[in-house]
Structure 1
């Protein structure tokens, strides 16, 4: 990684090359579900994606995570999570990746993914 390739702490994408997080740290405004929930090729919609920064995401539910960036060993995922895992997810009840990088644990949910879920 060159000096200019700085990764965002929130989404782990390279700032300026995939990261769409607001620079002020605010929560990005959720787009209508029809625009956000795109079908990903490798991950079903209910897969919980786990970033290196310990955030949980849902495929296509936020604007700052793209499918091409979700790869092992940087990311882990749970393709068929138990019912309610997304809602229970916290530091005392982490989501533990079952595929990809299985050492990844999510302790917080992406706020934009949560907003998208609430809008549907």
Structure 2
């Protein structure tokens, strides 16, 4: 049996990986009311400079629209862990003026 490594933490899935990014989240596609599409791997950037993951329990997909929100459709798997005040993350789609300096605590759990 082949052991896969997590794209986020690089540990073996099911044998050390404790990320909240299960494979099924990665495959799911989200569609906003304006037809905006992003994958479950996207990093969403709010007006409050928080980064979220699609499926966050306190967000509504209908809220995630440009020009209010920005996002990165295919971020580096380690970008989430590096995100900080010293390493802000800039949106590449939607409102590209948005940037995040904090991770959502719900998404980070």
Q: Give the TM-score band, short-chain normalised.
A: 0.5 to 0.7
Distance 2:77 2:54 in 1: 17
The CA RMSD over aligned residues, in Å, is: 2.2
For 1:95, the equivalent position in structure 2 comes to 89
**TM-score normalised by L of structure 1:** 0.61
Aligned to 2:40: 45
Displacement of 1:83 after TM fit?
A: 2.6
Specify every segment of 5 or more residues in structure 1 that has no aligned partner in the other structure, as ranges. Answer: 1-32, 116-120
The Cα offsets for residues 58-100 of structure 1, whole Å up to 9 and x where unpaired, read as 000x211111110001000000112300000001101100000
Could you list the structure 1 runs, at least 4 aligned residues long, displaced by more than 6 angstroms after superposition.
none
SS in 1 for 2:39: coil
Unmatched 5+ residue regions in structure 2? 1-20, 32-36
Aligned-partner Cα distance in 1 for 2:50–2:44:
8
Identify the match of residue 70 of structure 2 among 68, 72, 76.
Answer: 76
